[in-house]
Structure 1
Amino acid sequence: MTVRHNAAAHRYEMDTDSGLAIAVYREQGDRMIFTHTEVPAADEGKGFASRLVGAALADAHKRGFKIVPACSFVVAYVRRHPEYDDR
């Protein structure tokens, strides 16, 4: 499954078996603040959110942004992947 950046909507998106998974952010200077992650209910627990957030954070870093996790899922992901902890 491919993750795409929808800059106009300020989110990363991935089509799943049951719909659209999203990771919403807002930019503030050189920081990308991730505020919400959502996966269709039927797809929860299948690793889609981790795949989505991993790709989103990697892209944000590649584009020069510092990661600010403001969503509980992204907070937990960054704890497991300290390479994205920009504090």
Structure 2
Amino acid sequence: MADIEITITDDGDKGAYRTPVEGSEVGAELTWHRRGDARVADHTFTPPAARGKGIAFKLVQAMIDDARANGFKIKPLCPYVVAQFDKHPEWADLRA
């Protein structure tokens, strides 16, 4: 899959990682809310026609990269994010 452009929003207590999806009016997103010093990854969505192309993984990777750059921990709550943390033991240091 080609690189995608991810927009990061941080409204203090909540935020998201989003990308437009070609051919869809709705983009893909990973949303989070703050709990203490951690960000709780609570929801991931990719439009049905774009699933299986690695878009959701790229959103999770953007959150991982952001956590490494900005020093926060991630509490995976969304089942997809939990599964990715389980598949990537190298992220264990970021798990809240």
Q: Same fold (TM over 0.5)?
A: yes
1:7 counterpart = 2:10:
yes
1:49 counterpart = 2:56:
yes
Deviations 1:49-74 (CA, angstroms, capped at 9, x unpaired): 11111112221232111111000000
Instruction: Tell me how many residue pairs correspond in the alignment.
Output: 87
Q: CA deviation at 1:48?
A: 0.6
Q: CA deviation at 1:33?
A: 0.6
Identical residues among aligned pairs (%): 34
| TM-score after normalising by structure 2 | 0.81
Aligned partner of residue 46 in structure 1, secondary structure: coil
1:35 counterpart = 2:42:
yes
Structure 2 distance, partners of 1:66, 1:4, is: 20
Larger radius of gyration: 2
| TM-score after normalising by structure 1 | 0.88
Q: Which runs of 5+ in 1 are unaligned?
A: none
Structure 1 distance, partners of 2:90, 2:7, is: 21
Task: Give the aligned partner of residue 64 of structure 1.
Answer: 71
Deviations 1:19-76 (CA, angstroms, capped at 9, x unpaired): 3110010112221110000001110111111111111222123211111100000001
Q: Which runs of 5+ in 2 are unaligned?
A: none
